[in-house]
Structure 1
Amino acid sequence: MSSEVLVERPHYDSRAVAQGVPVREPRVELDVPLPSSGSATAGYRSAKYSPAEWFSNYHAILERAGTNRHEAGSIQRESRALYQDAEAATVKTQAEGTRLLGERLQEIHYWKSELQQHIHQLLADTESLLVLKTRLEKALDATETPYAIATDNLNCRARRLGPDLVRDAVEEELLKEVDLIRSVQALLKRTTAQVVSQIKTNREAKQTLELDWSDKYQAYSFDDHGGRCSNMSPDTQHHPSSATMQDQVCNSRSWTKFTQDNLSKAGQEEQATNSLRLLVEQVLQDTTHDLRVQCSSVDRAFSQRCAELIEAKAQLEMKLAQNLEQIGAQERSIVAIQQAIHNKEAPLRVAQSRLHLRSLRPNMELCRDEPQFSLEGELRQIDAILASLRQQLSEARGSLSQLEESRVTLEKDVSCKSHSLFIEREKCTTRRRRYPAVSTLSGY
């Protein structure tokens, strides 16, 4: 044969086929006839192989098959070692993960118990503060009665009459009591506001702990369920994206610090609650003691004032009785003086008549003899006695007028003292018997 036409065969990769890699089809080119020595033999030799090519082809196939077999055996040995190592590593890693999950469950349980303990403590503290708040409100309401009593006492004592309208020790003590009650009311209101604020803070801290406890409860449930999962669990599924690191995910240190900060805040609020509870108890005790002490001071002042009024009224009544007796005596004395003056009228007429008759004597008979001197002396004596009696009558009448004025003054003062004593004993002291007891002022 003068020339040979060779056609390229497609390349076949058995290894790629075994591994499942798709084989790329060879590019098909159009057969273009090659020039030959003669056109008559071109059609008989275009698709024929030579013996050498035939031997070369199947020897190459044998060699490729042997190579592929050796490579497959090597890959099988490597795969066997690989999946054995992978199985051991997987079992070890899974056991380590299970152990770590167990430790994590213990840690979550510990912090959950701590949170629950502080939640119960905050709840108990809040309940105790609510009880104290109720006591403060009751104590504040109880101060309205002493305030009404004190102001009513001041108003009643303002209706005292005349000289009894005095700013005495009772009024000073009542004004002190009014100021004390106002200051106690302001203190109770401020303390109540502090208790309300602490209750709000405790509830916020409790809510924070409850949210943290709820998160840990869910985390414990998830980790407990995950720790119970095994290779034989039927509810496991593929979650390819679960191992991807999420944004804003905390680490173990920040996780622990978050709970520790919450517990520290709760501990601070518990300490603040204890301090506030002691403060409230002390405030209620001090205010109750101060109010009762001031009430006792006012009552003592009222008792002393009533005793003074009773003593003054008794003295005035005694003096009034003496005055009335003296008025009676003076009136009788005036009547006696008037009778004495009246009794001198007859002797005066007699003396004056004698002198008049003797003044009618004629001529030398009209002399100043001894009877004349006696009659003139008698007349002068009667005139002097009458003048003295009239002067005494005037003085007695002036004294009687003064005694009458003193009587009126004494009667007015006795009436004033009686009115003041009625206000002190019947109005004020009786009203003060309604003063609240110690238990009521303490908010019980």
Structure 2
Amino acid sequence: MELIGSTLTATYARPKTSHFLPAISTMASSYRNTQPALAMNPSANLWRTSSYYKSSSAVPATSSIQRENLDLVRANTMFYPSNRSALTTRYTPDDWYKSNQNNYRESESSRKSAERLRKDTLRLMQDREQLTRRTQENTSKNIGERLNDIIFWRSELSHETDNMVTEIAALNEVKRRLERALAETEGPLQVSQECLYHREKRMSIDLVHDDVEKDLIKEVSVIKSCQERMRRHLDRAVAQLVSNRAAQHELERDMSDKVAAQRIDDRCHHLRNTSDGIGYYRGIDRLDPSLSLPDSWSKFTDDNILHSQSERAASHKLRDEIEILLNTTSSEMWNQFNNVNVAFTNRISETADTKNSLQTHLAKTLQEIFQTEMLIESLKKALRDKECPLKVAQTRLEERTHRPNVELCRDNPYHRLVSEVREIEDTIHKLQERLIEAENTLQTLVKTKVTLEHDLSIKANSLFLDQEKCMSMRKSFPSMPRLVGYT
């Protein structure tokens, strides 16, 4: 339906089915519960006038009939917009009179306030103009003093940075010398190890743990010890260079910040009221982007300078230690190199003398072998020479055994022939024994000859290894300037 004198509300049409809308009892209960819901939310009643509240408050709360009548009045007021508008737009004559009086009083008060404000404002403008001028002058003075502080610390940073750059260059040079010296030790170490390797090729009895081998092992140990110390100092130099560059970076960054701050403060110092580029920055005075105070600001730069000086002192001390190390290691390696050379010289001389003695004994042994061989030939010839006499004597005895009867007599010729046979056999036996002894002696001489020749080959091999292989390699030992890192 449509109400006259009100806005058009929604029009509902009942559907054909009977299950679309709820029961009538349910709708009635929802209408009766409208005002309690409003009572639970007091803010929903703020739009009503006081007259409405006065009339509604007079309704007793004890009578159920009066409550139902009040609900009907409120329902009529709520659901008829024309009645609601009429109630909320009414004022009393007392309200109208009071409004006029308030306007008169406010007009007089505003005029007096405006006059007082005008006088106070003129005085305030003059005072604030002078205060602004003095504050601006003081601010410019403070910025100028700040510029002097920045210039001072900037010069200190620049001086310290130059010193640090010089120290880094000096430490780099010492580090390069140490690297060259460490590289130079690889040659002597390889030579010493090669000498030990070649001396392992000695044969038989010459494979002894002599003084040369002891000194070579000691030389390898000395070189490796020097290399280890050099590597440790080289690692320290690398770490110190990192620390030096870090300190230099901090100085340069601080100085860069100082340059930027000086440029900004110098521009601020020269800003005037008539300068270009000035403008409003709302709320900038309430923003505090500062990260430090004047004390911490100066302490920060002073700490950077002190840290740089400390790193420079440590770097200088490390350079001195590296210089001492280079001199010490070069002396140790050179002393051990000379000791090994002396041991090699003594061993070569001893081996050469032994080789000469062996050659002499070999020559005598060869001569004796020749004579023994001649003796053996003589003995063999003597044995051959005894064969015919023995045959003759034995043949005579055998022929005499064929004498007939009584003629088979043991006469003097028989005894002589028997004695002759035994004598020749004894001679042959002794010659054979002497032949065997001569042959055994010859075998011994031959073995001695082989032993001497083998020992001579061993001594020749040892001399070749020590004199030709090892000593020729040791001539490439670096000089003292190269061992301390100079080219």
State the alpha-carbon separation in 2 of the partners of residues 207 and 239 from structure 1. Answer: 37
2:316 aligns with: 274
State the alpha-carbon separation in 2 of the partners of residues 11 and 221 from structure 1. Answer: 57
When residues 250 and 187 of structure 1 are mapped into structure 2, their CA distance, relative to the original with a 3 A threshold, is same
- Residue 435 of structure 2 corresponds to residue 393 of structure 1: yes
1:29 aligns with: none
What are the ranges of 5 or more consecutive residues in structure 2 without an aligned counterpart? 1-103
What are the ranges of 5 or more consecutive residues in structure 1 without an aligned counterpart? 1-7, 22-70
Q: Which of these residues, 342, 351, 370, is aligned with residue 309 of structure 1?
A: 351
Q: Which of these residues, 356, 372, 390, is aligned with residue 348 of structure 1?
A: 390
Q: Which of these residues, 446, 450, 464, is aligned with residue 422 of structure 1?
A: 464
State the alpha-carbon separation in 2 of the partners of residues 406 and 272 from structure 1. Answer: 71
SS at match of 1:418: helix
2:339 aligns with: 297
- Residue 410 of structure 2 corresponds to residue 377 of structure 1: no
Deviation at 1:180, TM superposition (A): 3.8
SS at match of 2:477: coil
State the alpha-carbon separation in 1 of the partners of residues 341 and 172 from structure 2. Answer: 35
State the alpha-carbon separation in 2 of the partners of residues 425 and 250 from structure 1. Answer: 76
Q: Which of these residues, 154, 159, 166, is aligned with residue 117 of structure 1?
A: 159
State the alpha-carbon separation in 2 of the partners of residues 117 and 375 from structure 1. Answer: 132
- Residue 452 of structure 2 corresponds to residue 413 of structure 1: no
SS at match of 2:161: helix
State the alpha-carbon separation in 1 of the partners of residues 287 and 309 from structure 2. Answer: 35
- Residue 213 of structure 2 corresponds to residue 171 of structure 1: yes
C-alpha RMSD of matched pairs (Å): 3.8
State the alpha-carbon separation in 2 of the partners of residues 13 and 178 from structure 1. Answer: 108
State the alpha-carbon separation in 1 of the partners of residues 224 and 213 from structure 2. Answer: 17
Alignment of 1:10-409 (within 5 A): 21=118, 103-224=145-266, 246-356=288-398, 358-409=400-451
Question: Cα deviation per residue 1:392-433 (whole Å; 9 max; x = unaligned)?
Answer: 011001111111122122212212221222222222221222
The more displaced of 99-108 and 389-398 is 99-108
State the alpha-carbon separation in 2 of the partners of residues 123 and 254 from structure 1. Answer: 26
- The percent identity for this pair of structures is 35
The more displaced of 254-263 and 12-21 is 12-21
In structure 2, what residue type is equivalent to 1:328? F
State the alpha-carbon separation in 2 of the partners of residues 349 and 308 from structure 1. Answer: 61
The more displaced of 286-295 and 194-203 is 286-295
The 8 Å contact of residues 135 and 443 in structure 1, kept in 2 or not, is answered as yes
SS at match of 1:276: helix
- Return the structure number with greater relative CO, CA threshold 8 A, min gap 6: 1
When residues 273 and 363 of structure 1 are mapped into structure 2, their CA distance, relative to the original with a 3 A threshold, is same
State the alpha-carbon separation in 1 of the partners of residues 434 and 277 from structure 2. Answer: 137
The more displaced of 408-417 and 216-225 is 216-225
1:3 aligns with: none
The more displaced of 411-420 and 197-206 is 411-420
1:435 aligns with: 477
In structure 2, what residue type is equivalent to 1:133? K
Deviation at 1:326, TM superposition (A): 0.6
In structure 1, what residue type is equivalent to 2:307? K
TM-score between both structures, scaled by the size of structure 2: 0.66
State the alpha-carbon separation in 2 of the partners of residues 239 and 128 from structure 1. Answer: 53
State the alpha-carbon separation in 1 of the partners of residues 453 and 291 from structure 2. Answer: 98
In structure 2, what residue type is equivalent to 1:398? N
Question: Cα deviation per residue 1:351-392 (whole Å; 9 max; x = unaligned)?
Answer: 444544554555555444444444433333222222111110
Deviation at 1:264, TM superposition (A): 1.4
State the alpha-carbon separation in 1 of the partners of residues 322 and 374 from structure 2. Answer: 77
State the alpha-carbon separation in 2 of the partners of residues 208 and 307 from structure 1. Answer: 66
The 8 Å contact of residues 119 and 210 in structure 1, kept in 2 or not, is answered as yes
Question: Cα deviation per residue 1:146-176 (whole Å; 9 max; x = unaligned)?
Answer: 2332333333333333333344333333333
The more displaced of 235-244 and 273-282 is 235-244
Question: Cα deviation per residue 1:101-138 (whole Å; 9 max; x = unaligned)?
Answer: 55544433332222112111111111122222222322
SS at match of 1:348: helix
When residues 96 and 247 of structure 1 are mapped into structure 2, their CA distance, relative to the original with a 3 A threshold, is closer
SS at match of 2:476: coil
Question: Cα deviation per residue 1:83-103 (whole Å; 9 max; x = unaligned)?
Answer: 7x986x888877766665555
Deviation at 1:259, TM superposition (A): 1.3
Question: Cα deviation per residue 1:321-375 (whole Å; 9 max; x = unaligned)?
Answer: 1110110010111122222223333443444445445545555554444444444
Deviation at 1:226, TM superposition (A): 5.5
Question: Cα deviation per residue 1:239-278 (whole Å; 9 max; x = unaligned)?
Answer: 7877667243533221221111111111111111112212
State the alpha-carbon separation in 2 of the partners of residues 13 and 361 from structure 1. Answer: 200
The 8 Å contact of residues 229 and 236 in structure 1, kept in 2 or not, is answered as no
State the alpha-carbon separation in 2 of the partners of residues 328 and 276 from structure 1. Answer: 76
Question: Cα deviation per residue 1:29-74 (whole Å; 9 max; x = unaligned)?
Answer: xxxxxxxxxxxxxxxxxxxxxxxxxxxxxxxxxxxxxxxxxx99xx
In structure 1, what residue type is equivalent to 2:356? A
